[in-house]
């Protein structure tokens, strides 16, 4: 039977498709309503090219917007907050008609978005919620709490505490685990952590899981900028501080494939990954190609697949709706409070990938070819 409780489809509630209300004036711009797509430019601001997922996101959004006839101004900000601010300013100055933004720091863009609002430019927050401003019109993402639940569940399944069908497994532990979180200035990091910890906490409380370092708070577990190097360093420090006595690490909660790769490097350097000292069960997110190969090779245990093609589709649909004077369709109007207002959202489902469903989830769907998985890189 196929392992994976991983399919966290959002179910009927999301299928209903509520209609967004609000929009703060976006969508009422008669200039764009009557314009041909060819005469409209959409600014797309992406955080970084160091992660393969954002390269795929940028490429998908750009291709789909161009397909619909729009001009696209796609810029990457090198994970530098002032660069992203400056690039968005520039997009506005150069006459962007709509903005699609994946923020580096979700709280840092208020003055740019004030300027956008002044000019009636609709703003779509892409995967990461832009916080502390009224001037974000729509949010496209995945169910980020469920991503965390899926990560916690994958850790428990990998350790044998849960069975593949979700029932209690035979493994009783105790298992030594360590916990990693994402960048705290990214709203998503908190949703992932909450979902994972709600899943893992009962097993920590009853002693099945032991966090030997004692680092169980999100601030201690955080990884600024989701950096692979920072994660590697923290894993090295944890091994030194808590495992030098010869005890063995059995599992690591990791919220993102780049972080997982840093953790894996630290563990390999410390002699993990041999028959005597197997690699701990390590989770991930994004199904980045390098990590999918690590899963195929039995090094990383799982990742959470977020289909960036579908996310791009939702971002493009939202931009188009605004430019045509309409409101995009939301399927969640409750969850994503950005500190000023609840931002109407379209959330997509996610799926857990393990070694045995790489073929069905990632290859059969055309996301990667078998050759790309074998090579660990895209063509
Ligand atoms: C988050 C995103 C994750 C992962 C991470 C690091 O905002 O939701 O999927 O990509 O950033 O890039």
Collapsing DSSP to helix, strand or coil, 7 comes out as: coil
Q: Which of 1-5, 213-217, 251-255, 305-309 bottoms out in mean pLDDT, i.e. has the lowest?
A: 1-5
Q: What is the pTM of this model?
A: 0.91
pLDDT the model gives residue 68: 94
pLDDT in tens, 137-174: 999 999 999 999 999 999 999 999 998 778 999 999 89
Same domain, 122 and 28: yes
Confidence at 275, pLDDT banded by 50, 70, 90? very high
Please give the distance, rounded to the nearest whole angstrom, from the Cα atom of residue 51 to the centre of ligand 1.
9
Please give the distance, rounded to the nearest whole angstrom, from the Cα atom of residue 118 to the centre of ligand 1.
30
Ligand 1 atom closest to 186 (CA): 7
Confidence at 262, pLDDT banded by 50, 70, 90? very high
Confidence at 30, pLDDT banded by 50, 70, 90? low
Longest dimension (CA), the chain: 70
Same domain, 332 and 207: no
pLDDT the model gives residue 10: 40
pLDDT tops 50 at residue 42: yes
Same domain, 290 and 331: no
Please work out, in degrees rounded to the nearest 5, the angle formed at the alpha carbon of residue 156 by the alpha carbons of 150 and 157: 85
Answer whether 143 contacts ligand 1 (Cβ < 6 A): no
Please give the distance, rounded to the nearest whole angstrom, from the Cα atom of residue 178 to the centre of ligand 1.
20
- Ligand 1 mutation target, pool 286, 290, 315, 352, most atoms within 8 A of CB: 286
pLDDT the model gives residue 37: 85
Q: Which of 23-27, 44-48, 139-143, 347-351 bottoms out in mean pLDDT, i.e. has the lowest?
A: 23-27
**Rounded Cα distance, 283 and 278, in Å:** 15
pLDDT the model gives residue 34: 77
- For 49, 183, 232, 261, the CA distances from 228, given in Å and listed in that order, are 13, 12, 6, 7
Confidence at 19, pLDDT banded by 50, 70, 90? very low
Total structural domains within the chain: 2
Please give the mean pLDDT across all residues of the chain.
92
Same domain, 112 and 149: no
Answer whether 139 contacts ligand 1 (Cβ < 6 A): no
Taking residues 207-223, report their average pLDDT.
Answer: 98
pLDDT the model gives residue 4: 35
pLDDT the model gives residue 324: 93
Same domain, 87 and 172: no
pLDDT in tens, 295-323: 999 999 999 999 999 999 999 999 999 99
Question: Would you state the structure tokens that stand for residue 243, as one six-digit string?
Answer: 């495992």
Percent of the chain clearing pLDDT 90 (strictly above): 88
Question: Would you state the structure tokens that stand for residue 106, as one six-digit string?
Answer: 């979700």
pLDDT the model gives residue 31: 72
Q: Which domain holds residue 183?
A: 144-305+355-361+368-375
Same domain, 118 and 149: no
Same domain, 150 and 273: yes
Same domain, 123 and 240: no
pLDDT tops 50 at residue 50: yes
pLDDT the model gives residue 27: 45
Answer whether 188 contacts ligand 1 (Cβ < 6 A): yes
Same domain, 312 and 275: no
Question: Would you state the structure tokens that stand for residue 15, as one six-digit string?
Answer: 């299928």
CATH code of the domain covering residue 301: 3.40.50.2300
pLDDT the model gives residue 164: 73
Answer whether 128 contacts ligand 1 (Cβ < 6 A): yes
pLDDT tops 70 at residue 55: yes
Confidence at 26, pLDDT banded by 50, 70, 90? low
Please give the distance, rounded to the nearest whole angstrom, from the Cα atom of residue 256 to the centre of ligand 1.
7
Strand duo 41-46 + 345-348: pairing: unpaired
| For ligand 1, atom 4: residue with the closest CA | 256
- Ligand 1 mutation target, pool 49, 106, 147, 182, most atoms within 8 A of CB: 182
Question: Would you state the structure tokens that stand for residue 319, as one six-digit string?
Answer: 């931009």
> Which secondary structure element, helix H or strand E, spans residue 157, and what is its range?
helix 144-159
Answer whether 51 contacts ligand 1 (Cβ < 6 A): yes
Same domain, 269 and 187: yes
> Which secondary structure element, helix H or strand E, spans residue 308, and what is its range?
helix 308-323
Same domain, 215 and 256: yes
Answer whether 346 contacts ligand 1 (Cβ < 6 A): no
Same domain, 169 and 87: no
Ligand 1 atom closest to 48 (CA): 12
Contact 87, 105 (CB under 8 A): no
């Amino acid at each position: 039977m196929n392992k994976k409780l991983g399919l966290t489809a959002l179910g009927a509630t999301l299928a209903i498709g509520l209609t967004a209300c609000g929009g703060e004036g976006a969508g009422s711009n008669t200039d764009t309503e009557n314009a041909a797509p060819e005469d409209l430019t959409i600014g797309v601001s992406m955080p970084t090219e160091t992660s393969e997922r954002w390269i795929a996101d940028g490429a998908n959004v750009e291709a789909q917007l161009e397909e619909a006839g729009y001009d696209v101004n796609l810029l990457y900000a090198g994970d530098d907050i002032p660069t992203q601010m400056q690039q968005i300013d520039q997009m506005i100055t150069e006459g962007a008609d709509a903005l699609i933004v994946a923020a580096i720091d979700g709280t840092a863009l208020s003055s740019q978005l004030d300027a956008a609002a002044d000019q009636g430019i609709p703003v779509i927050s892409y995967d990461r919620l832009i916080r502390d401003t009224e001037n974000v019109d729509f949010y496209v993402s995945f169910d980020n709490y469920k991503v965390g639940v899926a990560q916690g569940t994958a850790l428990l399944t990998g350790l044998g505490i849960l069975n593949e069908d979700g029932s209690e497994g035979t493994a009783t532990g105790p298992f030594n685990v360590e916990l990693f979180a994402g960048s705290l200035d990214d709203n998503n990091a908190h949703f992932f952590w909450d979902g994972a910890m709600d899943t893992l906490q009962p097993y920590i409380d009853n002693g099945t899981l032991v966090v030997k370092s004692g680092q169980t708070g999100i601030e201690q577990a955080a990884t600024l900028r989701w950096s692979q190097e920072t994660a590697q360093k923290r894993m090295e420090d944890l091994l030194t501080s808590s495992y030098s006595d010869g005890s063995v690490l059995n599992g690591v909660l990791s919220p993102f494939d780049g972080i997982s790769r840093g953790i894996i490097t630290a563990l390999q350097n410390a002699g993990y990954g041999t028959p005597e000292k197997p690699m701990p069960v390590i989770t991930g997110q994004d199904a980045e190609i390098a990590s999918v190969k690590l899963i195929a090779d039995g090094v990383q245990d799982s990742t959470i697949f977020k289909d960036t093609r579908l996310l791009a589709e939702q971002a493009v649909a939202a931009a188009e709706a605004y430019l045509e004077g309409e409101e995009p369709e939301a399927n969640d109007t409750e969850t994503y409070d950005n500190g000023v207002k609840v931002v109407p959202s379209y959330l997509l489902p996610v799926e857990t990938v393990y070694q045995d469903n790489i073929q069905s989830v990632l290859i059969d769907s055309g996301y990667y070819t078998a050759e790309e998985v074998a090579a660990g890189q895209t063509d």
